[in-house]
């Protein structure tokens, strides 16, 4: 049961990668972007502006702080996964792929473009998606730690994919950007977990309990 539960998150992620990469290989990235964003409404504008903050650094840090009061081991795994995946993403974004432009760079003057009022669009440093990297690192750690049921793993995947799609919906990233971000997040978190999880067994408690034990 334990192995099966973990695998649902990864199976879903692998299917996402397979379908997305196939599409990326067959079509122009701007065409893919327009296809994915063809249906937009005021409600979805607000919804995805809220959802996208799940991949923001501030949100991830807050989650890590909350986790300290639940389980220090999980909090440490999450913090290290976030930091390592973020460093890789930033290195790619501002070094190797510094010239990659975001969708708004190409769509700003397109009369068919659905522009969200009072929303700040960015035009540069598109590859990879940092928000997607962060949320997939977070959800991968959760999928590896919490193994109660198939439903739990699916919920983790859906949370991650919603944030990834929000980056596309808001024209902050192309599909290829979120695919790369998701891969960095999953790979970083997976290796952090495999290398450090057994080393952090002694921290398998709330920070309050650990403090009391040391007094």
| pLDDT, tens digit (0-9, with 9 covering 90-100), for 116-146 | 999 999 999 999 999 999 999 999 999 999 8
Which residues, other chains included, contact 82 with Cβ-Cβ below 8 Å and sequence gap of 6+?
A: 57, 60, 61, 64, 134, 137, 138
Residue 149 binned pLDDT confidence (cut-offs 50, 70, 90): confident
Does position 44 have pLDDT exceeding 70, yes or no?
A: yes
When the pLDDT of each residue in the chain is averaged and rounded to a whole number, the result is: 92
| Residue 89: C-alpha distances to residues 5, 64, 155 (Å) | 28, 19, 25
pLDDT for residue 6: 56
pLDDT for residue 196: 96
Instruction: Please report whether residue 30 resides in a domain.
Output: no
Dist. CA 1–CA 171, nearest whole Å: 40
pLDDT for residue 7: 74
Q: DSSP readout, 134-189?
A: HHHHHHHHHHHH--S-HHHHHHHHHHHHHHHHHHHHTTS--HHHHHHHHHHHHHHH
C-beta pairs of 87-92 under 8 Å, 24+ apart in sequence: 88/133, 88/184, 88/188, 89/128, 89/129, 89/130, 89/133, 89/181, 89/184, 90/130, 92/127, 92/128, 92/180, 92/184
Q: Which of 128, 136, 127 is nearest to 162 (CA)?
A: 136
Residue 213 binned pLDDT confidence (cut-offs 50, 70, 90): low
Instruction: Please report whether residue 203 resides in a domain.
Output: yes
Does position 212 have pLDDT exceeding 60, yes or no?
A: no
- Number of Cβ within 10 Å of residue 67's Cβ equals 23
| pLDDT, tens digit (0-9, with 9 covering 90-100), for 55-95 | 999 999 999 999 999 999 999 999 999 999 999 999 999 99
Domain count, the chain: 1
Instruction: Please report whether residue 36 resides in a domain.
Output: no
Chain centroid to CA 100 = 19
Does position 194 have pLDDT exceeding 90, yes or no?
A: yes
Instruction: Please report whether residue 116 resides in a domain.
Output: no
Does position 210 have pLDDT exceeding 90, yes or no?
A: no
Token look-up 């439903």 returns: 151
Does position 5 have pLDDT exceeding 60, yes or no?
A: no
Dist. CA 162–CA 184, nearest whole Å: 17
Does position 1 have pLDDT exceeding 50, yes or no?
A: no
pLDDT for residue 214: 56
pLDDT for residue 204: 83
Does position 215 have pLDDT exceeding 70, yes or no?
A: no
Instruction: Please report whether residue 29 resides in a domain.
Output: no
Instruction: Please report whether residue 144 resides in a domain.
Output: yes
Domain of residue 88: give its range: 2-22+54-108+121-210
Instruction: Please report whether residue 64 resides in a domain.
Output: yes
pLDDT for residue 2: 46
Instruction: Please report whether residue 34 resides in a domain.
Output: no
Does position 147 have pLDDT exceeding 80, yes or no?
A: no
């Amino acid at each position: 049961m334990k192995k099966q539960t973990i695998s649902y998150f990864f199976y879903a992620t692998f299917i996402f990668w397979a379908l997305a990469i196939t599409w990326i290989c067959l079509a122009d990235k701007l065409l893919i972007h327009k296809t994915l964003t063809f249906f937009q409404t005021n409600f979805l504008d607000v919804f995805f502006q809220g959802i996208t903050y799940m991949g923001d650094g501030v949100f991830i840090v807050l989650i890590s702080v909350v986790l300290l009061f639940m389980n220090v081991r999980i909090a440490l795994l999450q913090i290290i996964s976030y930091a390592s995946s973020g460093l890789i993403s930033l290195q790619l974004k501002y070094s190797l792929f510094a010239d990659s432009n975001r969708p708004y760079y190409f769509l700003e003057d397109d009369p068919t473009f659905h522009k969200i009022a009072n929303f700040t669009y960015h035009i540069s440093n598109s590859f990879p998606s940092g928000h997607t990297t962060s949320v997939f690192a977070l959800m991968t750690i959760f999928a590896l730690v919490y193994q109660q049921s198939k439903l739990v793993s699916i919920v983790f995947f859906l949370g991650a994919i919603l944030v990834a799609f929000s980056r596309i919906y808001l024209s902050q990233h192309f599909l290829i950007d979120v695919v790369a971000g998701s891969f960095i997040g999953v790979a970083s978190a997976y290796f952090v977990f495999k290398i450090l999880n057994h080393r952090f067994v002694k921290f398998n408690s709330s920070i309050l309990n650990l403090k009391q034990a040391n007094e």
